Amino acid sequence: MSQLRQAHGRPGFAPTELRSRSLRAVPARAQPLRAQPLRAQPLRAQPLRAQPLRARPLRARPLARALARLAPLRRCDWVLLTAVLALSITGVLLVWSASRAALLQADADPLTYLKKELLNLAIGLILMLAVSLLDDEKLRECPPWVYAATLLGLTAVLSPVGTSVNGASAWISLPGGFEVEPSEYAKLGLVLMTAKILGDARTADSRPPIRPPIRTVAAALACAAPVVALVTAEPALGVAVLLMVVLVSLIVLAGTRLRWLAGLGGAAAGAVLTAWWLHLLRPYQLHRLTAFINPGADSAGAGYSAAQAKIAIGSGGLLGQGLLHGQFVAGNFVPEQHTDFIFTVAGEELGFAGAVMIIVLLGVIVVRALLIAARADDQFATLVAGGIAIWFAFQSFINIGMTIGLVPVTGLPLPFVSYGGSAMFADMMAVGVLQALRLAGTDPRLALDRALAGPR
């Protein structure tokens, strides 16, 4: 023991020191336990392993982009579109019924006009979709181009290129048996150009005036004058009257002073009286006016169409004789029953209920156009939508009115119902303009831009 104590230099503490040395070695052996947090690091790296889950939205981007492109469809006026489709499909069926009997008698394909009208409807829907996708800026840039194309087409029909049908040079023949009637597109061109002129009016301080200045109204009249003159020269008196009604209505909507409107009305009345006294009207136009004033004077001549139309409508009763079962339709007693007098087919085969349905659908289209005009943010959009509403309303009234004896017989078709490619295309393009105005009015980005830019 003494030797052990001497060896360590600490007497009496050798066992304790040995034990303390053994105890001091314990922490060294426990070091692997302290390294456990390092071994747990892979557990902390688990969020990195979950990164593929976070990358899923990247894989869905093509679908999101496709849905973003279709987002404007959710802001379309689906009530307007539904009414247009229902009216157009009804028109296709009525055109088929109106033309079927005559084609069978001629040993021709009874589905000829049905196929053509379906093709017109398909092309019209494509045009409507294309126009509705125009943004606000492009829509405001297109009126001069549409107006120029309208003047070019109206001039072409009066040249050797034009084709005369029923005494009117209003068509341009195309290869494949197709024809174009520029006067139908003149309605849309006049609405757009007049709205462009009246909507862009500014005062000296760049604020929109309450009423357009006289020079702006004069510019609108000057732009409309050649269009009305060329349409009258075809001659297409019904279209010319429609254009003048739309023009005056747009000037009224723009807020023109009443004394200017009174002067404009006096000038129009003077022009009508001058045309009457100078015998500028064609003989058949005078005969139509005479037949309207005195229907019984020439019931077998100029008044024949109107008289037969009223008889056919009256024979339909409440629910009609059924599609393809109309006796007057099958006998072709009403001339041009697949175009201008298509409403007589509806009255006979669909009855009072079917006629009311067509009128209600037309009313829905007019009301939706007026709502778009009322909700528009600027004067241009208000005038365009209001002009289209007046166009459809007046043309529908004239077409239905002439079949029941309320107005003289004219060559205005029933919108979306009568047979004709040009009429269908122009009507569908007008609906596309309405949809484009609605999409521009409900676009939050454009609304913010207008709010920052101030009133136009």
* pLDDT tens digits for range 31-42: 555 555 555 555
Where is pLDDT greater, at 291 or 262? 262
Task: Assign 200 to helix, strand or coil.
Answer: coil
Residue pair 188/426 in contact (Cβ under 8 Å)? The answer is: yes
pLDDT band at 197 (very low <50, low <70, confident <90, very high): very high
259 burial (CB, 10 Å; 0-12 / 13-18 / 19+) is exposed
More confident call, 296 vs 203: 296
Q: Which of 53-57, 114-118, 198-202 has the lowest mean pLDDT?
A: 53-57
Q: Are 212 and 166 within 8 A, CB to CB?
A: no
Q: Is the pLDDT of residue 196 over 80?
A: yes
Beta bridge partners of 172: 162, 180
Give the residues across from 165 on adjacent strands. 168
pLDDT in tens, 307-348: 888 899 999 999 999 999 988 888 888 888 999 999 999 999
- State pLDDT tens for residues 365-399: 999 999 999 998 889 999 999 999 999 999 999 99
Virtual torsion, Cα 295, 298, 300, 302, nearest 10 deg: -80
Residue 45 main-chain phi, psi, to 5 deg? -85, 5
**Can you give the pLDDT at residue 144?**
93
pLDDT score of 383:
94
pLDDT confidence tier of residue 363, bands split at 50, 70 and 90: very high
Please tell me what DSSP assigns to residue 152: H
Task: Give the position of tokens 């892979």.
Answer: 42
Tell me: pLDDT of 268 over 70: yes
Q: Tell me the average pLDDT across 109-137.
A: 93
Burial class (CB in 10 A: 0-12, 13-18, 19+), 35: exposed
Q: Which of 138-142, 152-156, 288-292 has the lowest average pLDDT?
A: 288-292
**Count of alpha carbons within 13 Å of 345, Cβ hemisphere only?**
31
**H/E stretch holding 126:** helix 112-132
pLDDT confidence of residue 80: 95
Q: Confidence class of residue 267 from pLDDT cuts 50, 70 and 90?
A: confident
- Extract the tokens encoding 354: 């079917």
Which range (44-58, 254-268, 383-397) has the least confidence? 44-58
Q: Encode 115-151: b = buried (16+ Cβ within 10 Å), e = exposed.
A: ebbbebbeebbebbeebbebebeebbebbeebbeebb
Pairing mode of beta strands 162-165, 168-173: antiparallel
From 24-38, 87-101, 204-218, 421-435, the region with the lowest mean pLDDT: 24-38
Give the pLDDT score at 19: 46
**Is the Cβ–Cβ distance between 169 and 153 less than 8 Å?**
no
Rg for the chain, CA atoms, rounded:
38
Measured CA to CA, the distance from residue 409 to residue 233 in angstroms comes to 18
State the helix-helix crossing angle for 214-233 and 143-157, rounded to 10 degrees: 30
Mean pLDDT of 165-170: 73
Q: Residue 344 CB: number of other CB atoms within 10 A?
A: 30
pLDDT higher than 50, residue 235: yes
The percentage of residues in the chain with a pLDDT greater than 90, rounded to a whole number, is 44
**Average pLDDT value over all residues in the chain:** 80
Query: Rounded to the nearest 5 degrees, what angle is found at the Cα of 129, between the Cα atoms of 378 and 236?
Result: 80
Cβ burial 38-71 (10 Å sphere, 16+ → b, else e): eeeeeeeeeeeeeeeeeeeeeeeeeeeeeeeeee
pLDDT over threshold 90, residue 215: no
Is residue 362 predicted with pLDDT exceeding 50? yes
Cβ count within 10 A of residue 269: 10
Residue 21 has pLDDT above 50, yes or no: no
HSE (side-chain half, CA atoms, 13 Å) at 249: 21
Q: How far apart are CA 91 and CA 96, in angstroms?
A: 9
**pLDDT attached to residue 11:** 47
Read off the pTM.
0.79
- Cα–Cα distance for residue pair 388/367, rounded to 1 Å: 11
Share of the chain above pLDDT 70, in %: 71
At 23 the pLDDT is: 44
Tokens representing 301 are 């001549």
